[in-house]
Amino acid sequence: MSKTLIVILGPTGVGKTDLSISIAKHFNTEISSSDSRQVYKEMRIGTAVPEEDQLAAVKHHFIHTHSIHDYFSSWECEKQTLKLLEDLYKEKDQMLLVGGSMMYIDAVCNGIDEIPTIDPQLRKEVMEQYEKDGLECMRLQLKQLDPVFYNQVDLKNAKRVLHAIEVCLMSGKPYSELRTNSKKHRDFNIVKIGLNRDRAELYDRINRRVDIMINEGLIEEAKSVFEFRHYNSLNTVGYKELFEHFEGKISLEEAIELIKRNSRRYAKRQLSWFRRDDEIQWFHPDQEQEILNYLEEKI
């Protein structure tokens, strides 16, 4: 396995973009994004998409390639990213995978179970039922279709509940029977770099980044997609809080504070997830030379 996938991961706001561009330049290669929201072209400000000069400095993939009206899952991410890597490894020895979406990174590095593609009409019908009858009704339906997964899933997570129902209806089998959780073989090496900062430093960066987003027009961006707020892609920190403000439930000041709080909580969840992976070597984002030395040694 002469090819290498360099994974740059870490919590939101830690500083992955600048460092990943430097590393990509060093190895004369390209960047594949593993951010589950930067893929949507309607969500530029709230997802902290790299600036135009950054995108021009190194070729990026899966940035603004889809619409919020498109279906893009961790399974699609695995399939499309592996196809991209296969093509680029014909010319490149190294590629970068950069982001903080835990499920997407796991999908590319470890693989996920081959769940059937959901028919768009079926997805629409399940969503309409959810909007009409509520989450409790969908939980009861899942309990009937797949009692095993019902006892495993976070029943407060509507996305997981609805997806399991979709799979059950599409395949005619319980979702739990299709989940093997077995690690798939990859014909390239994987080196994982984790970025982190002191908690106070990280939280301050997150708070300041939210203020910058507001100043850059996040409120107007959220208004432009408000009518589609029931989409899963928009169940996202930075948007859902502003949607509550638009609905008159909270003030703008409260919405902004909630965005900051929920962003910090998301960063904490990301770090908890990543720390379970002992393949990750951790660095401060300022340790660029140390990271390059480590990568050269590993490669």
199 and 284 in one domain? yes
> Phi and psi of 190, rounded to 5°?
-125, 125
pLDDT of residue 236: 93
127 and 109 in one domain? no
Tell me how far apart the alpha carbons of residues 5 and 96 are, in angstroms, rounded to a whole number: 6
Tell me how far apart the alpha carbons of residues 218 and 160 are, in angstroms, rounded to a whole number: 28
> Given 153, 178, 203, which residue is the final one in a domain?
178
278 and 141 in one domain? no
**CATH of residue 191:** 3.40.50.300
Tell me how far apart the alpha carbons of residues 269 and 254 are, in angstroms, rounded to a whole number: 22
173 and 216 in one domain? no
43 and 136 in one domain? no
202 and 103 in one domain? yes
Please name the residues in contact with 98: beta carbons below 8 A apart, sequence gap of 6 or more: 7, 8, 9, 16, 17, 20, 31, 32, 33, 34, 35
203 and 67 in one domain? yes
Report the number of distinct structural domains present in the chain. Answer: 2
Tell me how far apart the alpha carbons of residues 135 and 158 are, in angstroms, rounded to a whole number: 7
- Pick from 125, 98, 123, 120: nearest CA to 109: 98
**CATH of residue 130:** 1.10.20.140
pLDDT of residue 231: 86
168 and 279 in one domain? no
Tell me how far apart the alpha carbons of residues 190 and 192 are, in angstroms, rounded to a whole number: 6
156 and 264 in one domain? no
264 and 198 in one domain? yes
pLDDT of residue 284: 98
38 and 57 in one domain? yes
130 and 14 in one domain? no
- Pick from 65, 44, 50: nearest CA to 17: 50
Q: Give the CA radius of gyration of the chain.
A: 20
Q: Which domain holds residue 139?
A: 120-178
| Sequential DSSP letters for 191-216 | EEEEE---HHHHHHHHHHHHHHHHHH
Picking from 2-16, 21-35, 71-85, 195-209, which range would have the lowest pLDDT averaged per residue? 71-85
Q: What would the pLDDT profile of 86-126 be if each residue is shown by its tens digit?
A: 999 999 999 999 999 988 999 999 987 777 778 888 889 99
Mean pLDDT of 20-30: 97
> Given 129, 159, 178, which residue is the final one in a domain?
178
